[in-house]
Amino acid sequence: MNLHVNYMGLPLKSPIVVSASPLSEKVENIIAMEKAGAGAVVMFSLFEEQIRSEEAIYEEILEQSAYSSAEALSYFPSVSEYPVGIDAYLRIIEKASKEVEIPIIGSLNGITNSGWIDYAKHIEEAGAKGLEINVYYIPADIEMDGRTVEDKYLEIIGLVKKAVSIPVAVKLNPYFSAMANMAKNLDGAGADALVLFNRFYEPDFDIEKMTISHALQLSGPGEIRLSLQWIAILYGRLNASLAASTGVSSSREVIKYILAGANCAMTASALLKHGISYITHMLDEI
Ligand SMILES: Cc1cc2nc3c(=O)[nH]c(=O)nc-3n(C[C@H](O)[C@H](O)[C@H](O)COP(=O)(O)O)c2cc1C
């Protein structure tokens, strides 16, 4: 059976795409994903916030060393040479792009405009065939209205599209008051794909220990309906491709998402539960 699909202008051998997760931290895992039949791999996200804090820590070390001993300082490379998060991230993309034929899609979570632009360029230069923007923004500011939040997304896609020539996907959360209009505006701003939807970490209480619990719960098949509904609503109305994300637990959810109009179905939780070879099992069933 021919399972080839097109996702944001990238020809994929299969509609199952590995979603951003720690599994892509290892190049050997990415090789295993290709062998198992993944159509593409989305890298775990590069978080600008994390890079900035690593740089800040490094600069602090430098300062302390300078005070303690001039000799100690000479053991430290300059900040730009120091392998902070970004370098390690780009190296994985570079290595993986050489080892596999399937597209590697970078994933970026920026904070500043220059962060979005610079890191997007670096990810493209490292060999990524596409870029997913993971805005992951929780508008907790009580003074911020919906239009301001929407404009932020549109500004980011505009900046990133100008910075790179690879296709750019926007990973969305479902909390827009006018989701269809937001999708249309992102499409108009140049998004090559929309990923519906991201799944935010939602904190909980552990009432036995009286602590806040951040334990992540993996998804189940019952969670596909929100994404399924929006993919069906948006299908055929945008230029952007549609990727389904959340709840792909077996071949059944992949088939449902494709029936609704998704170009591809992304999966993270199922692979964390069952292992990378589960992709082959799902493809065999399809
Ligand atoms: C452990 C874990 C780590 C994740 N890390 C990222 C990430 O770095 N960037 C991102 O955009 N999504 C991340 N996600 C979200 C997944 O890519 C995916 O969108 C979400 O889990 C829903 O898909 P699923 O139901 O197949 O798990 C992560 C998910 C899990 C479970």
User: Where are the domains positioned within the chain?
Assistant: 5-46+88-285
Instruction: Give the residue from 158, 78, 148, 149 showing the smallest Cα distance to 120.
Output: 158
Residue 79: pLDDT above 80?
Answer: no
Residue 123 Cβ contacting ligand 1 at under 6 Å = no
Secondary element (H or E) of residue 208: none
Instruction: Give the residue from 118, 147, 153 showing the smallest Cα distance to 133.
Output: 153
Convert the pLDDT of each residue in 36-60 to its tens digit: 999 999 999 998 877 776 666 655 5
Query: What's the helix, strand, coil split of the chain in %, to 5?
Result: 45, 20, 35
Residue 63: pLDDT above 50?
Answer: yes
Q: How far is the CA of 194 from the centre of ligand 1 (A)?
A: 15
CB 123 within 8 A of CB 86: no
Residue 263 Cβ contacting ligand 1 at under 6 Å = no
Residue 247 Cβ contacting ligand 1 at under 6 Å = yes
Residue 249 Cβ contacting ligand 1 at under 6 Å = no
CATH node for 5-46+88-285 = 3.20.20.70
Convert the pLDDT of each residue in 176-229 to its tens digit: 999 999 999 999 999 999 999 998 777 889 999 999 887 778 999 999 999 999
Alpha helices in the chain (DSSP H): 27-36, 48-68, 70-74, 85-99, 113-125, 146-163, 179-188, 225-234, 251-260, 269-274, 278-285
CB 46 within 8 A of CB 18: no
Residue 75: pLDDT above 70?
Answer: no
0.95 exceeded by pTM: no
